[in-house]
């Protein structure tokens, strides 16, 4: 998932967040490999969960479900899986 140069202060994710007017303590949770083959990462900032795709610096705020346990349960469930996660591009 990368080290401090990726997740730490002044790292790639921090820079992407700053460009979008966001800041705070970044808590990387885990990396996933979407069905499209494009890996992305689930992380939290200020209690809000996001998906980040390093290939294109895309960032999506998870709207529903809100709780981490529910997000993980939805992802792990083959029906609906990722389609059950509602996001908004940031």
**24-37 as b/e: b if 16+ CB within 10 A:** eebebeeeeeeeee
* Whether residue 1 has pLDDT greater than 70: no
Closest CA to 53 of 87, 10, 9: 87
Phi and psi torsions of 4, nearest 5°: -60, -35
Amino acid 35: pLDDT: 61
Write the pLDDT tens digit of every residue in 33-54.
766 556 789 999 999 999 999 8
What's the whole-model pTM score? Answer: 0.88
Torsion 84-74-38-53 (CA) sign: positive
* Whether residue 9 has pLDDT greater than 90: no
Write the pLDDT tens digit of every residue in 55-86.
899 999 999 999 999 999 998 898 988 899 99
């Amino acid at each position: 998932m990368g080290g401090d140069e990726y997740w730490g202060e002044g790292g790639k994710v921090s820079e992407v967040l700053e460009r979008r007017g966001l800041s705070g303590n970044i808590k990387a949770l885990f990396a996933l490999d979407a069905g499209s083959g494009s890996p992305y990462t689930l992380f939290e900032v200020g209690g809000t969960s996001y998906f980040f795709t390093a290939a294109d610096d895309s960032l999506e705020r998870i709207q529903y479900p809100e709780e981490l346990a529910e997000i993980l349960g939805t992802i792990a469930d083959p029906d609906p899986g990722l389609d059950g996660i509602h996001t908004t591009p940031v």
